Amino acid sequence: MDADKKNFTEPIIEAAVQVAQSVKAATLFAYVSSIHDLKSLKQAIKTPTKLVLVCRDQQDVDQAQDISAHVLSVPKFNLTRMGQIKMATLMAFSQQLLKPDDVFVFLTGIGEGDIDTLVTMRVGKEYEIFRSVGQPKLTEHIRRPVFERILRLTLELAHEGREGKPIGTLFVVGDHREVQKYSHEGRINPFKGYTEKERNILDDSIGDTVKEIAKLDGAFIIKGNGVIVSACATLRPAISDEPIPQGVGTRHAAAAGITACTKSIAMTLSESTGDVRVWRLGSMITEIEKQSAGSIDATKPPSAG
């Protein structure tokens, strides 16, 4: 069985290298846990393509560093194949490992299994990944570690949830003074009275607190440096002129509206599906789908009801 898996995986990896060379891809991404021979893959990659190894834990990072490959650390979550690609490429984009108009090749599979999927795309040309053309840098007004920390927390909330179900959540990051003009605190602000150091999202000790407060209604408003301004806030922004996906609720409409009238980024977690969406300039720039229990398909199955 292992031999069959290896024989299935190796032709896909060989094809990915050939495709990367043929289209002069800027980057070839691959999950460390799915590659049997990292050294051979690294040797097969030729300029101008660079190899970026996606790492889920420290063991992955150590293996990537052993062959001097670029490392991209991502949370270890159960996502669809496209969800894995979207999460990794979004984080790569925030770290400037990808730039607008870059062509990339991505190798992935389900969970930590063998490679079974090869995707080639151009940054900004595929709405499924992210609408980056014409967008400012993700970290223009927000520190990169802050963006990645909030993305991780949102994904953790999607997978941990409450009583087995996702928790609907909205984070608004950056341009906090303008954001506050369109918001009011619906209940007591849980972070009022604490020092900025004590309420910075980058402090690992605050993660559990944020997750508990996320169970309450309202939005988190966060400075670009990670300081939490308020939680449980109600947003009253103007309606975005940009079209938003059909079927999304008021939380997503608020995210679209607040990012349309401020220089902020919003992240929403759907209570019904557990999908994470990122919003910028009034529109959704990417959607990361949670892997449904028992599903083996690369596409997100329709939600019940």
Assign residue 101 the CATH number of its domain.
3.40.1380.20
pLDDT of res. 82: 84
Residue 300 lies in a domain: no
Question: Measured between alpha carbons, how far is residue 90 from residues 85, 120, 278, 288 in Å?
Answer: 8, 15, 10, 10
Let me know whether 200 and 82 are in one domain. no
pLDDT of res. 297: 41
Q: Which residue has the tokens 């799915």?
A: 34
Let me know whether 165 and 269 are in one domain. yes
**Residues spanned by the domain of 273:** 144-288
Residue 298 lies in a domain: no
Beta carbons within 10 angstroms of residue 152's beta carbon: 17
Residue 301 lies in a domain: no
Let me know whether 70 and 172 are in one domain. no
Let me know whether 111 and 178 are in one domain. no
Omega cis (within 30) before 48: yes
Let me know whether 162 and 71 are in one domain. no
Residues 157, 159, 164, 169, CA torsion sign: positive
Let me know whether 75 and 180 are in one domain. no
d(Cα 270, Cα 248) in Å, to the nearest integer?
8
Let me know whether 150 and 278 are in one domain. yes
Displacement of CA 240 from its chain's centroid (Å): 22
Residue 131 lies in a domain: no
**What average pLDDT values come out for the chain (305 residues) when binned by 10 residues?**
59 93 95 88 93 93 92 85 86 83 88 81 62 56 88 88 76 94 82 91 92 90 95 82 64 91 93 88 85 48 34
Contacting residues for 72 by C-beta, under 8 A, at least 6 apart: 29, 52, 53, 54, 55, 88, 91, 92, 95, 97
Residue 295 lies in a domain: no
Let me know whether 201 and 234 are in one domain. yes
Residue 219's CATH number: 3.40.1700.10
Let me know whether 52 and 95 are in one domain. yes
Let me know whether 150 and 281 are in one domain. yes
Let me know whether 116 and 195 are in one domain. no
Q: Which residues pair with 258 in a beta bridge?
A: none
Query: Is 227 in contact with 206 (CB distance < 8 Å)?
Result: no
Residue 129 lies in a domain: no
Residue 297 lies in a domain: no
Let me know whether 109 and 188 are in one domain. no
Number of domains observed in the structure of the chain: 2
pLDDT of res. 10: 85
pLDDT of res. 292: 62
Question: Measured between alpha carbons, how far is residue 73 from residues 39, 96, 104, 148, 209 in Å?
Answer: 19, 14, 18, 10, 24
Residue 15 lies in a domain: yes
Query: Is 217 in contact with 166 (CB distance < 8 Å)?
Result: no
pLDDT of res. 86: 86
